Every structure is written in structure tokens, then in C-alpha cells.
Amino acid sequence: MGTEVTRILSEAKRQGRAVLTEIESKEVLKAYGIPVRTGQVATDPESAAEIAGKLGYPVVMKIVSPDIPHKSDVGGVRVNLGSPEAVRSAFIDIVRKARLEKPKADIQGLLIYQMVPEGVELVIGATFSRQFGHAVMFGLGGILVEAAMDVVFRLVPLTREDSLRMIQEIRGRKILGNFRGKPAANVNAVADIIEKLSALVTDHPEILEVDMNPVIASAAGAIVVDARMALGEPKKIADTIYSSEEIVTGMKRIFSPAGIAIIGASGDPSKLGYSTVKNIIDGGYKGKIYPINPKADEILGLKCYRSVHEIPGKVDVAVIVIPAKNVADAVTALGEKGVAGAIVISSGFAEIGNDDLQRELVATATKSRVRILGPNIFGLYYTPANLCATFCTPYTEKGPTALSCQSGGVGMAIIGYSRSNRMGVSAIVGVGNKCDVDEDDLIEFFGQDQNTKVIAMHVEDIKDGVAFVRAAGKISRQKPIIALKAGATALGERAAFSHTGALAGDDRIYSAAFAKAGIVRVSNLEDLLDCARSLGKMPAPKGENVLIVTGAGGLGVLLADACSKHQLELMQLEKDLDQAFRKFIPPFGATGNPVDITGGEPPETYEATIRLALEDDRIDALILGYWHTLITPPMAFAETVIRAKKAAESVKAPKPIVASLSGDVEVERAASLLETHGVPAFAYSSEKAVVVLGALYRWARMAGRIRPRS
């Protein structure tokens, strides 16, 4: 099939055309087994009527011209023509209007088809971005493409399962089902087109954009009615020069150095070079610390060196806090000393327009084989090595979360939130201008790091999308990766050749990339931080059955609302299970899910219902709603939950549990206690507990942890 496609593409290239005609586009699709509606071209009104008679009325007529990509804009499309007279007069009309609007257009004739059977109008397309390569789009078609913007993108290559999932993701998916007497559309036929389009652009990446609009789907199948394609050079950004092994080897030395040098160390407490040395000491770092300053003999009680060359022992990483213009030379010296990486705190590079200085730094680093973190960052925390290589205050609370951020402002919020919530972290890393080390390097490292169970990232842009998706796609099978991508709405829609391209705002492509990579995307800083703090505490759920147990009916209803918003499924309780719960709760407590134990109950009722929920194999995850009462005060509730959890986990595998606590200020202490025992807990909130459980589920589904429905 490649041969025919190659022939058509070569011919277009030979003619210097970047756009294929409808006929060519359909030939390409046909070669990949995609069903297309073909027709015949008429060059005069009489032959048009003749062709229409042969095809059968009513017919559709469309102008054929490589110079007119948007046919309907110039009145170049007429539908539902029912007689030879109508066809003849439409021919004359269309040509006259097109000449008027586009006098120089090469009009090759009018294409005539029989009208397609009734069905649902869909759009399927493909587009190309330099970061991520090709993405395929699926959505509602016809006039609704741009009006409803109900479309979903996914990076290629796509499996049948991916394609079917895309179809399920549009808001208007119901339109494809069996409703109001219309039989359901053949979803497999639609998925087949999506999959084949993915294969087409994978095999022929020079096809940069494809629009199939509309694709008509009915019970009988799916057929492409109109199609367009644009060609070009599929130039991707891909600048990875290190292998996966080299990355990990380098990163291990950077995060857990045997020796660390501070270039620009200072004895003056007002300087960053002072606080950086002090933080490394105060953070409890156990390796060798080598301050570098040609003008000092000792800094903070440590022997000071004039240059890295003078250091007697091995140096794995250096922190750089000298003026920007001197950084490249320092990196050269590091290379000579065999240092693996530099944490460049210094600013004054691309972030203030000094692009040349940054390019010079990159060139030097590449040549010297020294990895660069930054420049323009607050530094790096890695608690397993007790390393606080930063000018900010130390942070030493150990835990399973690794965080990275592209913005220093966001970085400071991470530190403040962590401290305020005593969030245990393995690492906090600023990537800043990320002239070298970027998210894929960090993901490779954190992926193999036994101290890290969850990765949370603030991302403004991804440089090397290919490496990013590859690294994240691998690691996200093992550990949740959460990302906050800023700029979701900054750019708006692009002007583009195709509908698909126009709809592929950066944001949709990023979402497609995250979906491909198994990354959980969140939309604000608070959700990133709450998820970062919570996801490492919980085991992966094994199924979709979520249960709410609540002491406050009102809170239960709000939690149920939140579940619906975050795609969590409140399981239907089978009769025996419902009755088992009923045994513990007053007769006026609410039946079903949420299980409303009512507000007047003692800790024993919480304990019995929680244990039942944790020990019954049909229940996969538990959301607790607590109401502060005299009979069950906050700390008694927390202790009860912890006891029930321990008891259940001695006989059954652990399940994710989250809690929402409603009450006076004592609930804050109860929430903290729950947190330290592996139960993410939130006071004065009806949604946060569900946000973090929802994020855990999104990850678990992508990572294939959820058992398929029976």
C-alpha cells in the first residue's frame, strides 16, 4: 500500500504542492484501507447531469481545485441535487461564484457523488507538532467541529484500544449509541479508521495534516465523505544526546554525590554563596563539602579551595553561584575534574534575554560532558542523601514524593506547602531555564529511585517531547506522575490549514502527550500539591468500586457530587453487602452508597462499617466523611480509622482510603494524624479527598492496574 501513497506524495512534491486534492487525499486513504466515498469529475454541465444520472439522485457536487482548500467558503459545495436540471444549474452557479472569489484558481471540474446514507457526522484528522510528532484527532464533525469543539487528540501510534477509548472520551459520545430509535453507529468501523490513519502518518510522516470531515458513521459502517491533506517536513525537536543509562548514571552522582563543590562559596552571610554552603551543612549532608573561592581560606569552618583542580578527592557535583559570564569557564574546569553535573543557581541567562550566554553554556557543557541543572534555579533537595544544595532554607522531611518545577515562584510554594503540611519528599528540584537537564532526565532518575514513589511536576513547556513521552510512558507504569502544565489558555487556537490543526492548540497536544505518557494532568497548583502529598501514601486500587461511608448525610451528598465530577464510580451495593452495613447503622440511616451511618453514632459504628468496607473484596476504595460530634470527637475518629485500617490490613490487601473531615478546628489535628498513617485527609472540604483519589484512579487506569469489568 505504501507504493501508491509514495507515488501520490512524490507527484505532489514534484509539482511543488503542499496540499493534496480531495481525490489524491482519498486515494491515499484508500491505500490504507480506509473507506472513502468517491465520485466522478465532470467538466461541463451536460457531463455532470450524465454522471449524476449514472450514480443516482440525489447527488452532491463539489468544486475540484488545488487552489481552493475551503470549498464551502466560495460556495463550492451543493448538496441534495435531485434532478438533471438542478445539477446543470448548480454546475454553472458554482463555477461562476468560484471565478468571482478566486479568479486565479485552477478549477479542474466538479466532483459528483451520490448522497451518503443518513448517519452521524464525525471528524477524524491528524496534525503534527515539532515537540510531539503526529497526533490523531477524533470528534463530532460537520459544522460542529468548531462550534462544539468536542474533540480529543492522541499521539500516534494508536492501538485499537486507544482508538476505542478516544471515541468514549468525547462529551457527545451518546450520539453514536442507540437512542431515539436510531440504531447505534458501528464504533469498530470508526476505530478502524482512527487506527489506520495513525498507521498512515506513522509510515508517511511527511503528511503533516489530515482532515476527514465529515466521516459518516451509521450502523452499516463508517465512510469518509471529504478529505484533505497537507505535506511538509516532519522536523521534530529531539536533542537528547545521552542514553538512558548515561542519564541515570549522571543523575545518581548529582543527587547522591560523594563530594560536592560550591563554586562561588562565600563567608559573607548576605551572599547566596554563603547560604548555599550553610544549607548543605545544616541539611545534614554526610559527604565531602568543598567551598571554592580564590579569596578565602576557610568558609563556615570548611577548608576553601581556589579552584576545583585543587580539590584532592572526588567531586560528583558542583553548585554554581557566580556571575553568569563566568559560568561557562567554571563548567570547563568541572569537565576537566570529571564532575558529573552542575547545579547552576546563577541567573542572568535566557530569562533576561541573554540567549547567547546560555547557548555558550550549553555548548561548553556538551563538550565537557557535564550535565547542567538550570541555570536560574533555587537548587536541588534530595532527602535520601540529606542534600540541600540550595540558597533557600533547608527542608529535610523525608518521604516518597519527588517534585520538580520550572518556575522559581512555584518552587517556593512547594517548599512552603511542604513545610506547612509536613509533606515528606524525596526531592525538590528547580529546572529553571532547563538548558540541559529537563523533565525526561528527572523522570529517568526518579523512575529507578527506590526512595521515590510519586513524581509531581510543574511544567511550562516541554523541549524534547519525544524523549519526555518515552521516559514518562515507561516510568508511569510503575509510579504515578502528576503534571501541572501552565499556559493552558494562553495561546488560544492557531491559524492552520486544517480543522484538526486549528483545534490542536498547544494545550490539546500537551493533553494528548500526557495521555500517551500515562501522566495525570491537574489544572492548578493546589491540586498538584495535594496529589503530590497524597498519592505516595496509597496503594493502587484494583477495581472501580468506590464506597463512601459518612457520618454526615449532607457531606455524603457533596462527596458523591465530587465523585461524579472526578469520574469515580459509586458502586451499587449487592443486597447482602447492603444488609451487612445495615446491621451497624440506625434504621433511618441512608441505604446504598453513600453509606450514611448518621451523626449520632459512636466510634464503634465507624469502626465496624470501615472494617466491613476494607475486608469485603468487592469494594476497591473508600471515601470517609466525618462529622464532628460529642460522641465521636475528631481524634477518636482518627484513631478509629487507623485501628480499623490496621486490623483489615492484617487479613486483606490494603486499599486506598481518603477522608473528608467536617468539624471544629480539632479536625485539623485529626487530619494530620490520619495523614501520618497513610490516609490522605482534608478538613473543611468536600472535594479535595475526591480530587486525590480521582487522580490515583486516573493513574491506575492508565497504568493498567484496574481489573477489567466482568
Site for its own copies in 549-568 (CB under 8 A): 550-555, 557-558, 560-562, 564-565
Q: Are 170 and 163 in contact (CB under 8 A)?
A: no
673 binds its own copies (CB under 8 A): no
CA distances from 5 to 31, 453, 543, 563 (A): 7, 47, 45, 48
Cell of 562: 465530587
Cα–Cα distance, 450 to 462 (Å, whole number) = 26
Closer by beta carbon to its own copies, 27 or else 226: 226
Q: Number of residues in contact with its own copies, rule: CB under 8 A?
A: 94
φ, ψ (nearest 5 deg) of residue 587: -60, -25
Q: How far is CA 622 from the centre of its chain?
A: 26
Q: Which of residues 443-472 bind its own copies (CB under 8 A)?
A: 458, 460
Choices 24-32, 179-187, 287-295, 538-546; region in contact with its own copies by CB under 8 A: 179-187
Applying CB under 8 A, among 18, 95, 164, 175 the residue interacting with its own copies is 175
Contacts 24+ apart (CB under 8 A), 92-95: 92/45, 94/61, 94/63, 95/63
- Report the nearest approach of its own copies to the CB of residue 628 (Å): 4
User: CB count, 10 Å around CB of 16?
Assistant: 6
φ, ψ (nearest 5 deg) of residue 53: -60, -40
Q: Are 156 and 198 in contact (CB under 8 A)?
A: yes
Q: Are 455 and 481 in contact (CB under 8 A)?
A: yes
Cα–Cα distance, 688 to 707 (Å, whole number) = 25
Applying CB under 8 A, among 60, 265, 644, 683 the residue interacting with its own copies is 683
Binding mask 488-507 vs its own copies (x if CB under 8 A, - otherwise)?
xxx-----------------
- Report the nearest approach of its own copies to the CB of residue 528 (Å): 9
Residue with cell 514513589: 453
Question: If DSSP codes are grouped into helix, strand and coil, which group holds residue 500?
Answer: helix
Question: If DSSP codes are grouped into helix, strand and coil, which group holds residue 622?
Answer: strand
- Report the nearest approach of its own copies to the CB of residue 526 (Å): 5
143 binds its own copies (CB under 8 A): yes
Closer by beta carbon to its own copies, 232 or else 409: 409
Applying CB under 8 A, among 42, 311, 437, 529 the residue interacting with its own copies is 529
393 binds its own copies (CB under 8 A): yes
Applying CB under 8 A, among 96, 130, 160, 171 the residue interacting with its own copies is 171
Applying CB under 8 A, among 10, 478, 523, 676 the residue interacting with its own copies is 523
Q: Which of residues 327-366 bind its own copies (CB under 8 A)?
A: 347, 351-353
Applying CB under 8 A, among 40, 407, 448, 672 the residue interacting with its own copies is 407
588 binds its own copies (CB under 8 A): yes
147 binds its own copies (CB under 8 A): yes
102 binds its own copies (CB under 8 A): no
- Report the nearest approach of its own copies to the CB of residue 690 (Å): 9
Binding mask 411-430 vs its own copies (x if CB under 8 A, - otherwise)?
-xx-xxx-xx----------
Q: Are 514 and 588 in contact (CB under 8 A)?
A: no
- Report the nearest approach of its own copies to the CB of residue 520 (Å): 17
Q: Are 370 and 342 in contact (CB under 8 A)?
A: yes
686 binds its own copies (CB under 8 A): yes
Q: Are 24 and 5 in contact (CB under 8 A)?
A: no
Residue 425, amino acid: V
404 binds its own copies (CB under 8 A): no
Q: Which of residues 594-623 bind its own copies (CB under 8 A)?
A: 599-600
Q: Are 162 and 136 in contact (CB under 8 A)?
A: no
Cα–Cα distance, 271 to 442 (Å, whole number) = 29
Cα–Cα distance, 459 to 463 (Å, whole number) = 10
Choices 147-155, 279-287, 313-321, 673-681; region in contact with its own copies by CB under 8 A: 147-155
Applying CB under 8 A, among 392, 519, 673, 695 the residue interacting with its own copies is 392
CA distances from 217 to 56, 115, 676 (A): 21, 14, 53
Q: Between β-strands 259-263 and 151-155, what pairing exists: parallel, antiparallel or unpaired?
A: unpaired
Residue 648, amino acid: A
146 binds its own copies (CB under 8 A): yes
174 binds its own copies (CB under 8 A): yes
Q: Which of residues 209-268 bind its own copies (CB under 8 A)?
A: none
- Report the nearest approach of its own copies to the CB of residue 406 (Å): 6
Who's near 359: CB < 8 A, 6+ residues apart? none
Cα–Cα distance, 182 to 119 (Å, whole number) = 9
Binding mask 39-78 vs its own copies (x if CB under 8 A, - otherwise)?
------------------xx-----------x-xxxx---
Cα–Cα distance, 561 to 567 (Å, whole number) = 10
- Report the nearest approach of its own copies to the CB of residue 147 (Å): 3
Closer by beta carbon to its own copies, 530 or else 607: 530
Who's near 578: CB < 8 A, 6+ residues apart? 591, 592
Closer by beta carbon to its own copies, 10 or else 523: 523
Closer by beta carbon to its own copies, 458 or else 655: 458
684 binds its own copies (CB under 8 A): yes
Q: Which of residues 108-127 bind its own copies (CB under 8 A)?
A: 120
